Every structure is written in C-alpha cells, then in structure tokens.
Amino acid sequence: MGVVIVTDSSSDLSSASAREYGIEVVPLWIVYGQERLRDGVDIQRSTFYSRLAAAKDLPHTAPVEEAEFAEVFARHVAAGNEVVVPVISDKLSETYKHAVAAAAKFPGRVYVVDSETFSGGLFLQAMAASELAKAGKSAAEIAKVLEAARATQHGYFITPDMTYLGRTGRVNKAVVALGTMLKVNPVLRIQNGIVDSAAQTRTFEKAQELLVEIVTRELRDVEKVRFVVGHANSPETGARAMTALRAKLGAEPRSLALFEAGPTVAVHGGPGSLGIFSLVA
C-alpha cells in the first residue's frame, strides 16, 4: 500500500511538475457565462491568457465538486493506496469543504488538509507531501507534518492592476480602494487563509523591490526553507524576482523554483502579478 498525493489546480502545478512529483491535480472550473472549462484540461494557460486579454467580461472560478473528488479518491483507494489531499484555503474556496465531504466516504484512507494558502504556497505543501510519501511516511504522518508546517509558511504577492481582485471579491474592499483610488501598489499577503495588505508603495516597480525585501526580513536558517516564485504570464518579471531573491538570501535555500500561475489564480490576480511563497517542511 502506498500514499498518493492529490491537490487542486490552484496549486499552479504544471503538468510537467505534477508528473515529476507524482501528484494528481484535480481542476477547478473557469466559468465564462454558461461555459464551464476545467483548469488545465479544457483550457490551457496560453489559451487562457490570450482569451483574458481580449475578454470584455472577466470569467470567474468555481470549486472542485464533491463528486469529482470522490471519483479520484475511489480510484486510488481501490488500488490499495492512502490519499493525502492538501487544498486551497477554506476561506478562499469551497473546494476544501467538498474534499472533506468526499473523503468521508473513505474513512481512514483519505486525509484532507486545509493548506490555509493557495498558488505557490499550495505548490510547496504538495511538493513536501510528495517527498514524504516517497520516503515511506504514512498518510496520517504526512497530514500531520503539513498541518504543523502551516505555521512556517509565508506568501506575498503584488499585482499591477487591482481591479481584478476587486471584481472577484477575494480581497478586502478597503485594500482594493487603496490600490485603485489612491494609486498605490499594495504588497498583499496570505495569512491564516486570508488575504490582506502587508505594505504599500507608489509604483509596481517599487512594489517588486519591496516584495523581495519583505520576504527576506528576519529570515532564519535559509537552507531549510523552500521557496517558489510565481508570475502570471510575465516570465521576465518572474526571472528578475528570482535573481533578486537569490541575491538577497545570501545562502542556498532548500529549494527555489519558478512557475507560471494558471487560470484559477490568474483570474483573481490578473496578468503581470507576481508572488513569492516559502515553507519549512
């Protein structure tokens, strides 16, 4: 009997990364009016960004349904495996609630973990879970490690256009007003599953510098920390952040990777967004 790691597409794991780590990604839905598309299945990142640039009406997202999770869990349990399922914050999506309901059909075999984060933060939790599974840890042990590791995780991000976050309602209206009416660029953070403002500056260029500075403040034991840098259809911005972060760290971290945000996350952050996430696990 082995342990399989399952997560949702808000983790921004590419198909290549999912294969590398042996993680199954269950897609959330991208909704254009009456059209429902599975993130990464019915619509790929390149197509999504092209469509987003031309769209008059912003799409929205819908959670993974209970039945969709149950189908995945049943397949792995039938093969004799246990399943660990880190998913997007319960405060950001009903995906967690649906995963828990599906897991109840397989008592003692499926362990759902509220990551209290999203995007790169969930990416890191899924990666850590995969490594623990390959090391022979049980599903219960892996879930316990992930739950404890939430205290060590950090996630900060910026966007050049706050209107995306304003339309989708994932950030406090006062923070959105700060960015749109006062023309400042806030550095946002995901903490305990909730997005709020950590700092602000006048330009997106300055926000990029401030983002790296905040991420590295009071950082200890760099060699134990996993980092990921994510961008939304802006590889140059992501590469600059990677270079700046590596220089600021002053030591080699446990891992450091660059990824592109997929549709589930980019719907809310908008193109050009940039995030840095870290985890000790």
Per residue of the chain (281 residues), what is the pLDDT tens digit? 799 999 999 999 999 999 999 999 999 999 999 999 999 999 999 999 999 888 778 899 999 999 999 999 999 999 999 999 999 999 999 999 999 999 999 999 999 999 999 999 999 999 999 999 999 999 999 999 999 999 999 999 999 887 777 665 555 554 555 555 556 788 999 999 988 888 889 899 999 999 999 999 988 899 999 999 999 999 999 999 999 999 999 899 999 999 999 999 999 888 999 999 999 99
Pick the CATH number of 3-149 from 3.40.718.10, 3.30.565.10, 3.40.50.10170, 3.30.70.141: 3.40.50.10170
CA–CA distance, 122 with 281 (Å, rounded to integer): 12
Cα separations in angstroms, 72 against 22, 128, 148: 14, 21, 26
CA–CA distance, 116 with 152 (Å, rounded to integer): 12
Q: Where are the alpha helices (DSSP H) in 116-159?
A: 119-134, 139-149
Position 62 scores a pLDDT of: 97
Domain limits of the chain?
Answer: 3-149, 152-279
Position 196 scores a pLDDT of: 87
Pairing state between β 154-158 and 110-114: unpaired
Q: Same fold for the domain at 3-149 and the one at 152-279? A: no
Position 180 scores a pLDDT of: 54
Position 198 scores a pLDDT of: 86
Position 167 scores a pLDDT of: 67
What's the whole-model pTM score?
0.93
Position 29 scores a pLDDT of: 98
CATH architecture of 152-279: 2-Layer Sandwich (3.30)
Structure-derived torsion over alpha carbons of residues 197, 86, 94, 171, reported in degrees to the nearest 10: 10
* CB 254 within 8 Å of CB 205: no
User: Which of these, 228, 232, 239, 235, lies nearest to 121 by C-alpha position?
Assistant: 228
Position 163 scores a pLDDT of: 77
